[in-house]
Amino acid sequence: MNASGTGRYHAGWHRAVRYVAQRLLLRPVVNTVTRTTVEGLDNLEGLTRPFVVVANHSSHLDTAVMISSLPREITRNLAVGAAADYFYAKWWTKLATSVFFNTYPIHRTAGTSRRRGRKGLTQRLVSEDVPVLIFPEGTRSRDGVMRAFKPGAAAICVSKNVPCVPIALLGAYEAMPPGRNWPVEGRPRVRMLVGRPMRPRPGEKSREFNDRVAARVRTMLDMQTPYVVADSAAPPTETRQAREEAS
């Protein structure tokens, strides 16, 4: 195992187990219970490790959709940040999420010194060329509306000078809102919009980059397209109001 405690994220045996879990087990289930479509994969051409993937978060279905639908070259080494207080509280949830999603714990509240020491795991993984998936809202939206992004993911991109891949998920909340353990009947439609990777600008602060990334995801959600040219967008209320007035 690596001295930093990240050996599992480099292990060939674990990658092989994940392939079976993600491609041979998870993908057929996701495709059976939802009608998932992916748009914008051409935006990923030329992307190399490491990178940070971010997305809006409104359902436990979000991670399953992304892990099973993104190209294998993107998910092959991808590690997913998971709330330690929720997914690491019991050994079986820790094991299941590790096998299916290659998770690592993110501690959302202050705790013991041991837990505080684990907060740097994202940086260590990225430093070792392991791409990561983070939900910057910190938790699922309870009404399907995207909340403000916390700057942690953006800070990693700025400090390590790595690209951020913005993803917008549409329909996941309706397909499996909080409180449900399984998607609704009828194979609800879920759309995954993969945006063009974004890089921090020279001298850009973490919060500035975070605002740009959040604006990109919000614009993709509002416009329902992964092909967004501008990095900035009006606040969501103004965007929706303008859209309603135009219609």
Q: Which CATH class name applies to 7-246?
A: alpha beta
| Residue 112 in this model has a pLDDT that exceeds 50 | no
Give me the pLDDT at residue 107, please: 82
Look up tokens 């070792």; give the residue.
Answer: 128
Give me the pLDDT at residue 37, please: 98
> Contact, 220 vs 226, CB < 8 A?
yes
The domain locations on the chain are: 7-246
Helix axes 91-101, 12-19, angle to 10 degrees: 90
pTM here? 0.88
pLDDT (tens digit per residue) in 75-109: 999 999 998 888 888 888 999 999 999 999 998 76
